[in-house]
Every structure is written in C-alpha cells, then in structure tokens.
Chains A and B, each alone.
Chain A
Amino acid sequence: MAQPLLEVRDLKKYFPIRRGVFQRTVGHVRAVDGISFTVAQGETLGVVGESGCGKSTMGRTILRLLEPTAGEATFDGADLFKMSKSQMRAMRRQLQMVFQDPYASLNPRFTVMETLSAPLKIHGLYPSPKERERRVHEMLERVGLSPEHARRYPHEFSGGQRQRIGIARALMVEPRLIVLDEPVAALDVSVQSQVLNLLKDLQNEYGYSYIFVAHDLSVVRYISHRILVLYLGQMMEWAETDDLFAHPLHPYTQALLSAVPVPDPDQKRERIILQGDLPSPANPPKGCPFHTRCPVAMPVCSEQRPTWSEVRPGHFVACHLHGGPSTEGGAS
C-alpha cells in the first residue's frame, strides 16, 4: 500500500484521577495506551472491542476533541498533535466525525438547513447564501433525503434519517477522513444496513477514508477493509477483515468471534465464554492485559507484555503464543 493517509504512532490518552482537597493526581485511567496503525486513502479501518476499551476515546483523540497524552498522528504528512488550535481548526475541513446518538448530536433548535450550512460558514466555503442552499440540497440528495427536508427540525425525523443528516453534516466540507463513532449502534437493525450501505456507496464514489468504531462484529465485518481489535486501551490484533475472521490468532479475538451469532440453528459451534470482568484501566494487569481472562494463559503472560509482531504479511498480533519468529504456528 502506498503512503498512508493517516499514520498513528504510539497514541496514548491518560485521564488523571484526582482526589482530596488539593485535587492531587493519584493515578491515571489509561484509556488509550500505545496504539499505532495506518489508514490508507479510501480504506475503512474497523475498530472493535468491549465497552470501555478506549475505542471512542481513540477516535476523539485523533480529532483532538480530547488532547492526546503522547504519540503522533501524521495526516497527509503533517503531525496533527503538533498543530496550534487555529491550525487544527482549519484542518478539521479534512477530518470529520459522525456521532453515535443521532438524537443527541443534532442541535434541536437548528433546522436541517442551519445544521448543514454551519460547516460551510465556519470554513468560509460557498460565501453566498444561494450557493450554500444549493449545496445543502445536493448533499441531502446524496445521503438519500430530499431537499424539502431542509426546512424541518431534527425532531421531525426518524433515527435513521437523523443519522443521514449527521453524515451529511460531516460530508458538507468534503473531508478526506471521517471518524464514525458507533454510527449505527443506536439504530434499528433494519435501518442499520441502509446506513451502512450509504456509507459504503459514498466511499466507493468519493474515496473517503473511514475509521469505523463499533462493538458489533458483524457490522464491522461488513464495512471494514481491515480490523483493529482493542482490549483495555491496547492493541490485540490487526489484520485484513477476511484474514481476521478466517484465522483469528489472538485468544481474545477468537472469543469475540465465537460470540457472533450464526444464522444456522443446527450448526454446532464452540463458544469461548470469557470468565471474570474487564479489569480497571486505572490499574491494568501486569504483562499481557488479557491474561486475567485468557483461557490459554501461560506463566509468561503475567510477566511480560507481548511484543507487537507481524505474524503474517499484514497480520499483526500481540500474544506470547505468536510472539517472535521462534514460536511458529501456534493455536488457530
């Protein structure tokens, strides 16, 4: 793959825990703890993991809605984390976001026209109101709504329609990378597929890159080219979608995949049920963060953090079963 559009290196986001009268920092919640990946032009990177594993924080930190603790994010050759706030504001034209809850992410007091023309006004595109209006109408059609919807308020729409408006808002400035933070999690299943297809069609036509954050594996499988699996803010596995589903290497990925329902009641499957709860990200386990719940944990797992290694071309995993070139093969 050629020069990636976005390259994230060793991204960390810690939230301080403050206690007492003087608000002393007594520790950190390691929401995102050393994540690196790349996204190419026109690619969709799916990011999956349990609740609280830092998926959403990661997306928001890359867009600097939260300030990163450490790391680099090179977008088209420029480091986003070194930019001043005003440079970043201008940069937001190329980096957009779609939010999870289509009921909370649209201002109830703005009409669709106001919501959609805001990005144009903010970035000084299409200065004349006539032009802006034409552009909004165009975009509404592009996301499968009609121009007459422009005069209405968000409460007059269904969840799926609202999410289309949220997507349209992100597309108004013709961005290159869009972070989608669980964009279909709040929608009915029947509407989910419509929105997913819309996102896919838009990508095919205009070449947007997506970072698609979700917890629903079947959704991620459908839309992603590659998938990154996170656990407690750390990377577990990163591979092409088909490769990951066919040959999951990390025990955590295997457990996640075994939980995906299969539409065949007769098929016998081995479910891997994880024991115990997610450890606290304020006090992550030593060694591999997953060893406390891993069905195949070894003594070394609680001692050393496994290295991030490319086991097969394009297939990365952080697990002692597959760590280093000496241990070839392993369970799969």
Chain B
Amino acid sequence: MESLHPQPVPVSMPAREASRPSLSRRLWRSVRTYPMLYVGGLIVLLLVIAAVFAPVLAPHNPDTQFQDIGLNAEGTPVGPNATFPFGTDSVGRDVLSRLLYGARVSLIVGIVSTLINLLLGVVIGLISGYFGGWVDNVLMRITDVILAFPVLLLSMALVAVVGPSLWTVLWVIGVVGWGTMARVVRGQVLALKEFEYVQAERALGASHGRIMFRVILPNLMGPVIVLSTLNVGANILTEAGLSFLGIGIQPPTPSWGNMIQEGIQTYTFAPWTMWFPGLALVLAVLGFNLLGDGLRDILDPHSATRR
C-alpha cells in the first residue's frame, strides 16, 4: 500500500522540512488520519495483555471464595473497595480477577474459532469462485443454508448434542460461522480470476492449485484480514451468549457470559456483578470492530468511509 494521507497537514505545523518527518510525527499524523484504528488497536492490545498476564495482574485467585471479607454480614456481595476493586460476586469471589481470567476464554474462543472460520471460508470460497459451474452452485447453496440459521441457535443445537466445554464451544462456533467469509472470498475470486495476470498463469500451464493458492489467495488477503478481525468480535459475543445460556463455558471456570448470568441473580442489590463483565464484553467487541473498520480503511482505498 502506498501511503494514503489525503488529509491536509494542519496549518499550525511547520512548513515542510527538508528531511522526512520524524517517526513520532508520522505516527501522530497516522493516528489523526485513522483515529478509530488506533482506539480499536489499543483496546485489543489491552485485552491481550489482560489475558496473557492474568495470573500477574489479578489481585486474587479467581476461584477463592472470600466467605469472611468477601461477603457482608447478610451474606450479600461487597461493593468495589480497595481489596476488591470491582467488588465480589454472590459467593465472595473477586470480580476483577475473574474478569481477567475470563478474558482468556473470550480471546481463545474468539481467535481460534475465527481461524477455523477463516480456513473453511477461504477454502470453500476459493474453490467455489474459481471452478464456478455446478461446484459453485452446490457450495453456495450449502453456504446459504449455513447463513440462514442464526449462529447462536445453530451453535446451541450442536453444543446440546456434543455437550458443553471450552473445546466444544470453540469448534462449534468455528464450524458454524464461515458463511460470510466464503461469500466474500468467492466474490473476490470471481473478479480476480478474470485479471490478465491470472489468465497469464493459465497460459503458462499452471495447475489449478498454484493459481488458487499462490496467485489468487495473496491478492485477497486485504478483505480476509478485515473480515476476520470483525469476526473475532462476533465470535466473542457468541461465546458469551452460549455461556450466558448455560451451554458454553461451565462454572466455576470464569467466562464473561456466565459471570453476567450469575450476576443476574444479584443485580438488584449488587449491580456491579453484572455491570463489569457486561462492560468488558462491550469494550472487547467494540475494540475488534473498530480495528476491523480501521484496517478496511487502510487496506481498501476505495472504501467510502475514508474522509
């Protein structure tokens, strides 16, 4: 990508220097041009740090029930204080520590299931768009069926059959959510395969495999990266939904979904038990969406959202 900075340099900036602008200035300009990209990136970065360093950052063990200092005399959760920054839950566990460990579940499920989506969607979309004809018809009708089901509903049905666990949730979301990716990839392939450099490969006698994976695939990485980033957010949300409904991550393993579920029972007198996991979820999904939109602005110069 060439640098795409259509915004005029602010008037207050000094006139053009002889040398290239310094690194910090270029970074600042880039931040000004794509503010949402950096906000999203920052949120995602913090999320990754929280997940990776959860054992270091967490003030308490997420499973320890502080029956003494974690609960009031009436046996209700204590609110945010110096010991428990985000308060405790109904059995006296530290909400902050559970949130940090819950980030691990969200990220693992979000990223690994997206990788499965990616693999299935790209391979199916590539084959469908490249070969066309009846292959395309069959694969796209299967995709239609997959897309016609709400992801959450289909996942529920599958989890109910296999039985809930982290690995089930991860696979189920991965196997259910590839429809959009397949569609987008197919559309790109339909356009790309008519390009002269793809025709040139055919004229050289290249095999279908080489043309699909060595020639076409690298040229559709832009939309694939954008869609995958958005997909991580969506999959985190699906995982939370499944866990909320009790068929995702099983307690006592902390997940933002089952924390919200548990918080429902206490929220009239201890609303923080629901607020904080809910807020974490919103922030995480927002972060991935902003990052995805920002990447689209950079990777797709034709996008209308650029100012």
What is the number of residues of chain B that contact chain A, defined by CB distance less than 8 Å?
Answer: 16
What mask results when residues 97 to 134 of chain A are scored 1 for a CB within 8 Å of chain B, else 0?
10111001111110000000011001100000000000
Q: Which of B195, B199, B207 contacts A122 (CB 8 A)?
A: B207
How far does the alpha carbon of A3 sit from the alpha carbon of B287 in the complex, in Å? 70
Check A90–B205 contact: CB distance below 8 A: yes
Assuming the contacts A99-B199, A99-B200, A101-B196, asked whether A107 and B215 have C-beta atoms less than 8 A apart, the reply is yes
How far does the alpha carbon of A97 sit from the alpha carbon of B206 in the complex, in Å? 13
Whether, in the assembled complex, B15 has its beta carbon less than 8 Å from a beta carbon of chain A, the answer is no
Q: Which of A99, A106, A123 contacts B205 (CB 8 A)?
A: A123
Check B207–A105 contact: CB distance below 8 A: no
Contacts of B203 in A (CB 8 A): 63, 65, 92, 96-97
Whether, in the assembled complex, A30 has its beta carbon less than 8 Å from a beta carbon of chain B, the answer is no
Interface residues of B in 183-212 (CB under 8 A from A): 195-197, 199-207, 210
Contacts of A96 in B (CB 8 A): 203-204
Q: Which of A88, A89, A97, A109 contacts B207 (CB 8 A)?
A: A89
Whether, in the assembled complex, B252 has its beta carbon less than 8 Å from a beta carbon of chain A, the answer is no
* Chain A: CB-nearest residue to B204: A119
Whether, in the assembled complex, A226 has its beta carbon less than 8 Å from a beta carbon of chain B, the answer is no
How far does the alpha carbon of A92 sit from the alpha carbon of B199 in the complex, in Å? 13
Q: A166 to nearest B CB, angstroms?
A: 8
Whether, in the assembled complex, A93 has its beta carbon less than 8 Å from a beta carbon of chain B, the answer is yes
Assuming the contacts A109-B218, A109-B219, A122-B210, asked whether A104 and B195 have C-beta atoms less than 8 A apart, the reply is yes
How far does the alpha carbon of A93 sit from the alpha carbon of B206 in the complex, in Å? 11
How far does the alpha carbon of A92 sit from the alpha carbon of B200 in the complex, in Å? 11
Check A105–B200 contact: CB distance below 8 A: yes
Whether, in the assembled complex, A169 has its beta carbon less than 8 Å from a beta carbon of chain B, the answer is yes
How far does the alpha carbon of A236 sit from the alpha carbon of B202 in the complex, in Å? 31
Contacts of A93 in B (CB 8 A): 205
Contacts of B207 in A (CB 8 A): 89, 122
* Chain A: CB-nearest residue to B197: A107
Check A65–B204 contact: CB distance below 8 A: no
How far does the alpha carbon of A323 sit from the alpha carbon of B203 in the complex, in Å? 39
Q: Which of B201, B205, B210 lies at the interface centre, i.e. has the most chain A CB atoms within 10 A of its CB?
A: B205
Assuming the contacts A107-B215, A109-B219, A122-B210, asked whether A99 and B204 have C-beta atoms less than 8 A apart, the reply is no
* Chain A: CB-nearest residue to B199: A65
Q: A97 to nearest B CB, angstroms?
A: 4
What mask results when residues 159 to 203 of chain B are scored 1 for a CB within 8 Å of chain A, else 0?
000000000000000000000000000000000000111011111
Q: A86 to nearest B CB, angstroms?
A: 9
Q: A255 to nearest B CB, angstroms?
A: 31
Contacts of A169 in B (CB 8 A): 200, 204
Check A105–B197 contact: CB distance below 8 A: yes
What mask results when residues 26 to 48 of chain B are scored 1 for a CB within 8 Å of chain A, else 0?
00000000000000000000000
Contacts of B195 in A (CB 8 A): 104
How far does the alpha carbon of A122 sit from the alpha carbon of B203 in the complex, in Å? 11
How far does the alpha carbon of A100 sit from the alpha carbon of B197 in the complex, in Å? 11
Assuming the contacts A109-B218, A109-B219, A122-B210, asked whether A104 and B197 have C-beta atoms less than 8 A apart, the reply is yes
Q: B77 to nearest A CB, angstroms?
A: 56
* Chain B: CB-nearest residue to A102: B196
5 CB < 8 A contacts A-B: A91-B205, A92-B203, A106-B200, A107-B201, A119-B204
The chain B residues found within 8 Å of chain A, CB to CB, are: 195-197, 199-207, 210, 215, 218-219
Give 7 closest A-B pairs by Cβ, nearest first.
A92-B205, A105-B196, A104-B196, A97-B203, A107-B197, A89-B205, A119-B204
- A105-B196, A108-B219, A118-B206 given; name 7 further pairs at CB < 8 Å: A63-B203, A65-B199, A92-B203, A93-B205, A101-B196, A104-B197, A107-B219
